[in-house]
Amino acid sequence: MELPDGSRRTFLQDGDTVTISAVTHLANGTTLGFGEVTGTIEPTATHPKENP
């Protein structure tokens, strides 16, 4: 994907926000929307036993 600053990336990083939406067109001409979901990539959680 191309970022607003012109750089390109093929992966997500912590702090990135992603929005996904979808629409399909049925055989009878009806359009069906699946809505939209937005989430932000969070850093990996540290397991309590790994970090006393």
User: Is residue 25 in a domain?
Assistant: yes
pLDDT in tens, 6-42: 999 999 999 999 999 999 999 999 999 989 999 999 9
What pLDDT is stored for residue 13 in this prediction? 93
What DSSP assignment string belongs to 4-35? Answer: TTS-B-SS--TT-EEEEEEEEE-TTS-EEEEE
User: Is residue 13 in a domain?
Assistant: yes
CA distance 35 to 24: 11
Domain count, the chain: 1
Name the pTM for this structure.
Answer: 0.60
Residue 2 lies in domain:
1-42
